[in-house]
């Protein structure tokens, strides 16, 4: 199993189309597709951004990746774990929200 397979499985669990995952993460639809298919590598900052969008910590992501590898790539096991055990380290975003990347927001008086 690759990290791209895992992101595809997480996206399927949420019933998100590529467009929705792209909107929530800020990573282009075509780049996400290539990452999921293993046609493009993924940088650590992109992994972090996707983890934010999916509402899981990087530690949880790698635990899920390891679990998928130990089951021969059986995504049903990974999807079950992702759905059944919410990540306590990472709060879920309300539908339609995007993760805060820490940029200053002038509307909130941040410079």
How confident is the prediction for the chain on average, in pLDDT? 75
Identify which of 52, 45, 56 has the alpha carbon closest to the alpha carbon of residue 78: 56
**How confident is the model at residue 64, as a pLDDT?**
80
**How confident is the model at residue 91, as a pLDDT?**
52
| pTM score, whole prediction | 0.64
Which two three-digit tokens encode residue 85?
């055990």
Residue-wise pLDDT for 20-64, tens only, equals 999 999 999 999 999 999 899 899 999 999 999 998 888 888 888
Which two three-digit tokens encode residue 84?
């059944």
Higher pLDDT, 97 or 80: 97
The span from the CA of 91 to the CA of 104, in Å, is 21
Residue-wise pLDDT for 7-16, tens only, equals 998 898 889 9
CB-count exposure of residue 34 (10 Å: 0-12, 13-18, 19+) = middle
């Amino acid at each position: 199993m690759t990290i791209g397979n895992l992101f595809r499985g997480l996206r399927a669990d949420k019933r998100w189309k590529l467009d929705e995952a792209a909107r929530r993460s800020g990573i282009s639809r075509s780049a996400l597709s290539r990452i999921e298919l293993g046609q493009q590598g993924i940088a650590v900052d992109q992994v972090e951004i996707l983890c934010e969008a999916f509402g899981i910590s990087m530690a949880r992501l790698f635990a899920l990746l390891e679990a998928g590898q130990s089951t021969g790539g059986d995504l049903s096991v990974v999807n079950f774990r992702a759905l059944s055990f919410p990540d306590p380290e990472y709060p879920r975003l309300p539908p339609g929200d995007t993760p805060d990347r820490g940029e200053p927001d002038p509307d909130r008086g941040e410079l």
